[in-house]
Structure 1
């Protein structure tokens, strides 16, 4: 993943920031705590590699070699946010080598983002058939189940992913989301239990504490840019932070504010993060709720 030095900008003065003007509940104070980062940009290395692969694909190759090159180029397109080009290349890769599990995994993620859940399930099923121990295929199929409101798939698959590493706060969070489909109260109780396994110095613990009500939104906003790891950019941190803030507001029924946070997550351009992948889908869902509320007499 691309790593670059980014700088933070306080946006208290940027009152015209798109979408933020609709915030309620002391908007000026909330905006004073918001942070923006320079959006991630494609690296020179990615662009050179794309050119080399495209050149190699014009030369005589066997099917396996051609499949690997199409897959690699698709992964690069995906990392740069060129999802349509990525899907074309993943499908081309599978034409030459139908047993590329990771190509199916990418396609399943893309179908989930598009709301094509049946195609997503078929793609993830293919991954699991080819590689039964492919851990992320279960997470991704569980996420598809979550967005498809299939609590059975969401809880079972995300739960399996969680059990492989119970001290991972992001696995804990997605398990919480999956469990909210059947019982929000039970999900919150389980979240507090699962919190105990997470290291006290893990920054993502702040996200969980926000959901548990042990940390205020204002406190969370102030901590967003703290404890950056050596290999972590501010853009990556903010992509995560704003996505989970959006989910927090969404679960509270505050969909207009959730939309603003999802927009901020998308603005980071951290295309490879799961939070960026689904921020657009979440934004669409919250917008539907806002429109429905506005349509009520």
Structure 2
């Protein structure tokens, strides 16, 4: 899956002040990403506030992303949850025209065993009409898909082609890269660790910061993938403070604040999330000014 190499971005869902979906803002965001050299787009991930979207809104958002992108970039669609049967039904009945792959998160809240996680994705593999990217994010799911489980899935199912690994543990990342098949795509789900993951043999990132600073961040990843690590780290290390800021009060409040400073969309989020505080919004604006001058 060469399409998944490099920098993908987990798109936010822009909202108007009344919290209706801002499709003009979404158009601006897509064009901003394409102009900035992003390699592919991810729709309806966690960053999109998918948990607060209605079924109709999800359908409208995906249709809009496909229309605006107009085949200029691959599109990955988030299809996940903690009800295996419901995901299987969605995969067997849904329309996936215009979608390159699906991103499916390890089940949250249920806290399954490693065997339960394996069987969950085995069922998804049997039902999916598209290649599958596994998604391990223990900070949100309260369970950790271990490298041995990821490697087992990668080896047993041809349509499981990649993983977005968002564990905050480089030792686990290294074990993962070592255990999976050579052609299996390992992507960072943590912007701060994306370049170290690439330096260890990973293939890229599904990013949050990448949609705010697409040219800057995609260049870091491209340099890393071309083994120009000294050059890449010269840009990556100064970016760490901005990455910390956009997650300081939760995602996507911080990235929406950054995007609002650039006139791409407004900073509104839906409850139970809250928009970035005035103090954080100012800090993000100041950090953006520093990056733009560098």
Q: TM-score, normalised by structure 2?
A: 0.31
More helix by share: 1
Structure (1 or 2) with the larger CA radius of gyration = 1
Q: TM-score, normalised by structure 1?
A: 0.31
